[in-house]
């Protein structure tokens, strides 16, 4: 019954936001975001253009909390956030651990609070097992950010990483090609902007093309808009998958 109620609530929330966006779409409600890398393939692709719901995770005031379904980020949510190493950049990842969770990765399999996760959204492109990447937490086998070193030093207990209050552990779905919390530490709650709502346009272009300053991306769009637009992804909803 609880799962059914949660599903109904999520459905109403999702489509209520769609209506709000159509009627009052401003930067206070949504934000456009272009997926910069392949770290979340195949959930979202490089050069997917997303509308990000900024309402869901906003602090609720005494009145609005009764009108809008504010929530805290949950395990399995796809989130957009300010990159802790450079807040001028926005990243998109999936929440794997919330405050209080105990996380361990064994031969690529993620365990949360002692339970192995079933993750149908993940993609594994490298069959090899790397000590730190695929068996975590452990001694880093390569360079990691100081924030990650501090995370490991202060938050590992009995071979598990414990997520502290006010922070989240996030990973990319493309697990062997993701710069995520394993390498730069936790995502602070205040860095989280919102959750992707819908792909409003998707274009088949590599990161280096659209992110450059040469203008070649705009030339490419002018020439190949119809042939390189991923039409099947247009208006595709982006949903998190609850992790129990």
Where in the sequence numbering do the catalytic residues fall?
Answer: 39, 93
| CB-CB neighbours of 112 under 10 Å | 20
Q: How far apart are CA 16 and CA 38, in angstroms?
A: 30
Residue 20 — φ and ψ, nearest 5°?
-60, -40
Q: How far apart are CA 79 and CA 98, in angstroms?
A: 13
Assigned token pair, 19? 């209506």
Q: How far apart are CA 169 and CA 188, in angstroms?
A: 9
- 137-162 burial, b for 16+ CB within 10 Å, e for fewer? beebeeebeeebeebbeebbeeebbb
47: alpha, beta or left? (left if phi > 0; alpha if psi -120 to 50): left
């Amino acid at each position: 019954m609880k799962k059914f109620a949660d599903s109904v609530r999520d459905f109403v929330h999702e489509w209520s936001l769609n209506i709000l966006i159509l009627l009052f779409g401003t930067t206070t409600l949504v934000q456009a975001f272009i997926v910069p890398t392949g770290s979340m393939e195949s959930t979202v692709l490089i050069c997917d253009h997303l509308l990000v719901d900024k309402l869901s995770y906003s602090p609720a005031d005494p009145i609005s909390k009764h009108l809008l379904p504010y929530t805290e980020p949950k395990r399995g949510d796809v989130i957009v956030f300010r990159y802790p190493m450079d807040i001028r950049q926005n990243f998109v990842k999936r929440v794997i651990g919330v405050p209080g969770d105990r996380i361990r990765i064994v031969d690529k399999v993620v365990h949360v609070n002692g339970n192995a996760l079933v993750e149908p959204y993940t993609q594994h492109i490298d069959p090899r097992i790397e000590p730190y990447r695929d068996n975590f937490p452990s001694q880093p086998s390569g360079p990691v950010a100081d924030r990650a070193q501090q995370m490991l030093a202060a938050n590992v207990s009995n071979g598990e990483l414990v997520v502290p209050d006010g922070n989240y552990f996030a990973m990319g779905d493309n697990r062997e090609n993701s710069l995520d919390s394993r390498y730069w530490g936790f995502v602070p709650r205040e860095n989280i902007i919102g959750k992707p709502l819908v792909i409003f346009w998707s274009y088949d272009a590599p990161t280096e093309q659209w992110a450059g300053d040469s203008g070649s991306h705009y030339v490419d769009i002018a020439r190949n808009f119809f042939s390189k637009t991923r039409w099947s992804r247009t208006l595709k909803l982006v949903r998190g998958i609850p992790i129990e």
